[in-house]
Amino acid sequence: MRAIRFHQHGDAGTMRLDHVEQPTPGFGQVLVKVAGTSFNPVDATIRAGHLRQVFPVALPHTPGIDVAGTVTAVGEGVTGLHVGAQVIGFLPMTADGAAAEYVLASGEVLAAAPTTIPLADAAALPATGLTAWQALFEHADVQPGQRILINGAGGAVGGYAVQLAVQAGATVVATAGERNAERVRGYGAQVIGRDIGGLAGPFDTVLNFAPVAPADMVTLAGLVRDGGALVTTTTPGPQDDPRGVRSISVFVHPDAGRLAALVELVDADKLHIHVAGHVTLDELPAVHARSDAGTLSGKTVITV
Ligand SMILES: NC(=O)c1ccc[n+]([C@@H]2O[C@H](COP(=O)([O-])OP(=O)(O)OC[C@H]3O[C@@H](n4cnc5c(N)ncnc54)[C@H](OP(=O)(O)O)[C@@H]3O)[C@@H](O)[C@H]2O)c1
C-alpha cells in the first residue's frame, strides 16, 4: 500500500511516498481503509523531532492522528465493529498513522462516522473536536451564563470550542484573524480581531488555542476573574497567581464515547466542520512545509 513516511527527523523534505506492506489487525484492532486524515500542527512537531521524549516515534514513521474510513478487517476481541462500517478516530500519536491507504486502529478509539458530510471530511473532527470539548468541560467546567474568552477561535480547535461553548449557554468573546472572523461570528461569538491588548475582563475562563508568546499568556491570565481558569493547548500559562487563577495545560486523550456525541451534533447540524482545504496523499509533505513556513491556515484534509 502507499504510505507517507519520514525516515529521519527533520524538515518536510524528510517525508516521502513509500510502498509498504499492508498491516494485519491484531487482538483488539481493526484495519481501516483510509478515506481521509487531517493535518494537525503536532504532526509537524513530531516530524521535526522537537518533542522526542513526549512522542517517541519509531522510524520510519507514518503521520496522521485523525482517521476517517471504512473497516476492512476485524481482529479478535473486537466488539461492535464490522467490515464495511464507516468510522472515525483519534489515533495514538506514536503509532503509525493514517497518511496511508490503510491504518490499524484499536476498536476502542473508533466511533461511527457522521452520515451527513463526506467521509473524508470527517477526519477534521477527532483530535481537534475532542480537544475543544475536553478543554471546555473537563478542564474549565464552563457553565451556562458564564462569560468566556477564546483566543485562537479561527483555528480548528477554536472553531469547535466556540460552537460548543455557545451551545452550553456561555457568552463567548473570541479572537480570530480577518479570514476567519465572519465564520466565527456565525458560530455565535463576539469577535474582536486578533489583538488581545485592548480587551476588558474579567472572564470566568480564558481558553487559549493559539501558538502565542509567554508574554501573551500573562496578558490572558490578567483577563481571568479571581479564582477563574486559564486553559491552554499551547504555551503554558503563568503559575502561582496570587488571585487564585488556575493555569491548566490540556493534553488531549482519546474518548470514543465523546467522539460519538460530537458526531451526533454534526449530524444534527449543531456542530459545523470547517475544512479550509483538501490535498491528496502525495501532497502531504507540501502541507508540512507550509505549516513550517507559517502559511498554512485552517484545517487541511488529506484525501486518500
Ligand atoms: N495540547 C493538546 O492536547 C493539543 C491538542 C490539539 C491542538 N493543540 C495545539 O493547539 C493549537 C491549535 O490547534 P489547531 O488545530 O486549532 O490549529 P490551527 O487550526 O492551526 O489554529 C491555530 C489558529 O491560531 C490563530 N493564531 C495563530 N497565531 C496566533 C497569534 N499569535 N495570536 C492569535 N491567534 C493566532 C490562527 O487563526 P487566525 O488566522 O484566525 O488568527 C490559527 O488558525 C496548535 O498549536 C496545536 O498544536 C494542542
Statement: residue 271 has pLDDT above 80:
yes
Q: Are residues 121 and 19 in the same domain?
A: yes
Does residue 254 have its Cβ closer than 6 Å to ligand 1? no
Choosing from 214, 234, 249, the residue where a domain stops is: 249
Does residue 39 have its Cβ closer than 6 Å to ligand 1? no
- Residue where the block lists cell 459545523: 272
What the block records as the C-alpha cell of 288 is: 508540512
Give domain status of residue 159, yes or no: yes
Statement: residue 89 has pLDDT above 80:
yes
Q: Are residues 154 and 73 in the same domain?
A: no
Taking CA atoms only, the protein residue closest to ligand 1 atom 13 is 157
Statement: residue 198 has pLDDT above 90:
no
Q: Are residues 139 and 120 in the same domain?
A: no
Give domain status of residue 218, yes or no: yes
Q: Are residues 91 and 119 in the same domain?
A: yes
Does residue 175 have its Cβ closer than 6 Å to ligand 1? yes
Q: Among 131, 163, 187, 275, say which to mutate for ligand 1: greatest number of ligand atoms within 8 Å of CB.
A: 131
What the block records as the C-alpha cell of 216 is: 501573551
Give domain status of residue 262, yes or no: no
**135 CA to centre of ligand 1 in angstroms:** 14
CATH number at residue 19: 3.90.180.10
Q: Are residues 104 and 140 in the same domain?
A: no
Residue span of the structural domain in which 44 resides:
2-125+273-303
Count: domains in the chain: 2
For residue 215, the one-letter residue type is A
Contact 21, 96 (CB under 8 A): no
pLDDT band at 297 (very low <50, low <70, confident <90, very high): confident
Does residue 194 have its Cβ closer than 6 Å to ligand 1? yes
pLDDT computed for residue 254 by the predictor: 98
pLDDT band at 172 (very low <50, low <70, confident <90, very high): very high
